[in-house]
């Protein structure tokens, strides 16, 4: 390994994420426990909620959605358009893409559980994320500094949890 990977860099600064919302249809409970236990939520219902949130994130100025996938083998030719963080694969999409495409990336862009996605307010071009390129440790630090929210799968991948800066979460709710 050449140094820290994106998840480790972001984990070191998780205290900047002070708010969270669950991206799932209402379950009729005022307090929702977040864990890996299934809630029998239909994924297409959660995906519809997530698509609406993706639309709001785009309206709030978010630029790039990045999904980390640590299971594939580096030289697997079937992976499509990817970049590398040492041995970890990342996939990304612009928030100018359709909300459905962004949710599809979160559903299909990672082979492990939980899926982890990062929301950046900077374009992939500015972040220097390009197909086939290995992202340097310095670039990873720059990417980490632009992350406004982290999205993870919950409830046995039936729904998503978005952690973010209070200002980002508030904007999403208000948009």
> What is the SS3 string spanning 62-114?
CCEEEEEECCCCCCCHHHCCCEEECCEEEEEEECCCCHHHHHHHHHHCCCCCC
Whether 78 is covered by a domain: the verdict is: yes
Query: Which residues form the domain of 151?
Result: 6-23+39-174
Whether 34 is covered by a domain: the verdict is: no
pLDDT of residue 6: 84
Cα gap 39→5, rounded to integer Å: 32
Q: What is the pLDDT along the chain (175 residues), one digit of tens a residue?
A: 344 588 888 888 888 999 888 887 776 554 455 656 666 777 888 899 999 999 999 999 999 999 988 776 666 666 778 998 877 889 999 999 999 999 999 999 888 788 999 999 999 999 999 998 999 999 999 999 999 999 998 877 788 899 998 888 888 888 7
Whether 32 is covered by a domain: the verdict is: no
pLDDT of residue 52: 94
When divided into structural domains, the chain yields a total of: 1
pTM: 0.88
Decide: 20 and 161 in contact? Cβ < 8 Å: yes
Whether 155 is covered by a domain: the verdict is: yes
Q: What is the CA radius of gyration of the chain?
A: 15
Whether 33 is covered by a domain: the verdict is: no
pLDDT of residue 58: 96
pLDDT of residue 33: 59
Whether 12 is covered by a domain: the verdict is: yes
Whether 109 is covered by a domain: the verdict is: yes
Cα gap 104→3, rounded to integer Å: 30
Element (H, E) at 148: strand 147-154
Cα gap 75→88, rounded to integer Å: 11
Decide: 23 and 161 in contact? Cβ < 8 Å: yes
């Amino acid at each position: 390994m050449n140094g820290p990977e994106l998840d480790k860099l972001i984990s070191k600064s998780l205290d900047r994420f002070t708010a969270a919302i669950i991206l799932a249809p209402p379950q009729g409970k005022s307090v929702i426990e977040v864990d890996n236990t299934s809630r029998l939520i239909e994924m297409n219902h959660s995906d519809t909620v997530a698509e609406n949130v993706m639309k709001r994130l785009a309206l709030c100025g978010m630029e790039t959605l990045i999904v980390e996938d640590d299971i594939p083998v580096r030289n697997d030719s079937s992976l499509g358009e990817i970049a590398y963080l040492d041995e970890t694969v990342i996939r990304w999409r612009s928030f100018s893409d359709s909300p459905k495409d962004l949710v599809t990336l979160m559903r299909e862009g990672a082979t492990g559980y939980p899926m982890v996605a990062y929301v950046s307010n900077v374009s992939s071009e500015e972040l220097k994320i390009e197909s086939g390129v290995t992202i340097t440790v310095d670039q990873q630090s720059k990417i980490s500094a632009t992350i406004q929210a982290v999205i993870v799968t919950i409830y046995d991948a039936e729904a998503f949890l978005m952690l973010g800066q209070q200002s980002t979460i508030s904007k999403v709710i208000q948009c």
